[in-house]
Structure 1
Amino acid sequence: MKKTIEIKAERAQFVTMTDISYAQVDQWYGHCKKDLKLDLIYPEDHTKKRYPCIVWICGGAWLTINKSAHLAYLSKLALSGFVVASVEYRTSNEAFFPSQIQDVKAAIRYLKANAERYRINPKKFGVMGESAGGHLSSLAALTTAKKFDVGDNLNQSSTVQAACPWYPPANFNSFPLPPEEYGMAAPENLLLGCDPKKNPKAVKEANPVDYITKKAPPFLIIHGSDDHTVPHAQGNELHDALEAKGCDVTLITIKDADHADIRFFQDQVWDEIINFFTSVLK
């Protein structure tokens, strides 16, 4: 059988590129350099159209990450009309905070500097991440201090226009004490390089809730009601602090869901995310 069909080109072709180097940072006590990389899904359609960009930040207790783990789901965002980048950042065994947020902001500046190449609208950026990535995406949306912008492309702004943190650590002052057997090996201790209870200055520097102003961009917070790793109270506290400043914020609670629960990867949740970013960035 032979068949001829006529196709009208109505949508862009989306291309995936992996392991794009966006910055170099010191490694091995400053003796070497390490490339930081990102994965990117972007459109090619031979037009001059620009698309909003969403930056995904992987979780893993600031100790381990896999930027490519959720590309299948991130492609749902791309096919809804976004450029999507998933970024690598230094983990806490490589560098203490604020290196992690400095890396995320460097990735945002790189993407803006290469906006024409990757078909990005540099004025339309969102951030999203899970757990440790939820913490960093919240900080990326809330912080404007120059100390967090270091490295290349400093002529570009790292500000974003929307944030969707999943189960984010929002306030280390109200975060539950780790089990005694963790000692200094608790993830938040390793991130800060100290015991948070004994170093309020370090905690304040890393606390998303301490950067909230009425100028914060719109937030969509997603948290499971039965989270045993980052308690639901953390997402609730971030919501209430934003709301108290008059900010645009919504908290979606997934009933009975635990940390990184499979329910976060159902279509209903991703439809909420797509609708949020579409309403804010388009």
Structure 2
Amino acid sequence: MKFSVSKQAPWPDRRPAAGWLPLAVSLLLAVVPAQAQQPAVPRDTSFTTYSAYVKARKQHPTISIARPPVPASIRSRTNVPYCRLPEGRELRLDVFYPKARRQRPYPAVLLVHGGGWRSGDKSQHHAMAQQLAARGFVTATAEYQLSQEAPYPAAVQNLKAALRWLRAHAPSYRLDTTRVAVWGFSAGGQLAALVGTTNGNSLYETGPCFRSHSSQVQAIVDVDGILAFIHPESGEGDDSKGLSAATQWLGSSKLARPELWQQASALSHLGPGTPPMLFINSGVARMHAGRDDARRQLTALGIYSEEHTFPEAPHPFPLFNPWFAPTLEYTVAFLRKVFEQ
């Protein structure tokens, strides 16, 4: 068999004509689906489960990352779009729900990750969401706009949209729209408390997504999230060595705009319509700033609350054994009590 080799001009003589590359890019973008054209957002990976583990095990060498087996009794759907923002950004969540289709619908829990409002990931609480689903809850872990992408109040507005999405899709998951809770850890706990104490607040009810549905919650679980930014117990807002995480998220220092920092504090929104609250805390006092004040106000209002503290635990305790299991049990017992399951 003979092979013929055609002679071609050297590479420099075969360069595309000027203007070819921009034209090709334009043609490519014209056929790329809209959801693939997500805006580029810098990814902060300073808070991950593993990095938190490496840090925490220096003081707690016997801990381990909580990775319980995925229960066989649940189903899941991941990376489900729950809201498309006006600029084209698509927000996503992961849903876990019981396989059994019982006659009475299941209560729901939206889980919110931490990471200083600028890091973290919705997958960090998959284990908690899966175990809650095995106990008879429809659960979802949602992403939200972090501070590099959009400052306060965008994250709160995102999470309200996620709650509306859950109610809009209630039939698909046998979800009880009258029994919905929000659960959050660290910055996610602060967000969960703020989401739950601002039921019906027009500041946070924005955007086009599922506006005909309610974002109200009937229970709040705050896991080591602060209740007040400006408070004697709070350590937030120290910008002496660079902008703090709270300053980056709120877009202004607490000295320049203290009223904004108060507005973003759940303690400022407690009232007769506040749902029951569960506080689960580490031994790091500044991570539950305002909690005791909140509990006193809730008691005066006749609203049920609980507090459970692990005095020896580091801040990221719900991600690790031995604290994962009791955190789960406290959550389940509280929700069953307030939802009268």
Q: TM-score range by the shorter chain?
A: 0.7 to 0.9
- Offset, 1:179: 4.7
Relative distance call for 1:202 and 1:226 in structure 2 (3 A) is closer
Aligned 8 A contact 1:225 1:232 in 2:
no
In structure 2, give the amino acid aligned to 1:56: L
SS at match of 2:335: helix
- CA distance in 2 between partners of 1:264 and 1:236 (Å): 25
SS at match of 1:197: coil
In structure 2, give the amino acid aligned to 1:108: L
Q: Deviations over 1:102-130 (max 9, x none)?
A: 00000000110110012111111011000
Residues 93-172 of structure 1 mapped to structure 2, 5 A cutoff: 93-143=148-198, 144-151=200-207, 152-172=209-229
- CA distance in 2 between partners of 1:247 and 1:187 (Å): 32
- Offset, 1:267: 1.8
- Offset, 1:263: 5.6
Q: Within the alignment, does 1:224 sit opposite 2:282 as a pair?
A: yes
Q: Deviations over 1:60-118 (max 9, x none)?
A: 00001210122122211111100011111000111111101100000000110110012
Match of 1:39 in 2: 94
Number of positions where the alignment pairs a residue of Structure 1 with one of Structure 2: 264
Higher alpha-carbon Rg: 2
What is the aligned counterpart of 2:305 among 245, 249, 260?
249
SS at match of 1:111: helix
**TM-score, structure 1 as length reference:** 0.87
Q: Which structure has the highest strand share of the two?
A: 1
In structure 2, give the amino acid aligned to 1:176: G
Match of 1:14 in 2: 74
Q: Which runs of 5+ in 2 are unaligned?
A: 1-70
Aligned 8 A contact 2:236 2:246 in 1:
no
SS at match of 2:313: coil
- Offset, 1:240: 3.0
- CA distance in 1 between partners of 2:265 and 2:169 (Å): 30
Aligned 8 A contact 1:171 1:207 in 2:
yes
In structure 1, give the amino acid aligned to 2:79: D
- CA distance in 1 between partners of 2:186 and 2:101 (Å): 37
In structure 1, give the amino acid aligned to 2:211: L
Match of 1:188 in 2: 246
Match of 1:240 in 2: 296
Aligned 8 A contact 2:97 2:134 in 1:
no
In structure 1, give the amino acid aligned to 2:310: I
- Offset, 1:146: 1.5
Match of 1:7 in 2: none
- Offset, 1:177: 5.2
Match of 1:3 in 2: none
Aligned 8 A contact 1:43 1:119 in 2:
no
SS at match of 2:326: helix
Aligned 8 A contact 1:138 1:165 in 2:
yes
- CA distance in 2 between partners of 1:47 and 1:80 (Å): 13
**TM-score, structure 2 as length reference:** 0.72
In structure 2, give the amino acid aligned to 1:164: V
Q: Within the alignment, does 1:66 sit opposite 2:66 as a pair?
A: no
Aligned 8 A contact 2:179 2:218 in 1:
yes
Q: Within the alignment, does 1:87 sit opposite 2:142 as a pair?
A: yes
SS at match of 2:212: coil
Give the 4+ runs in structure 1 shifted more than 6 A: none
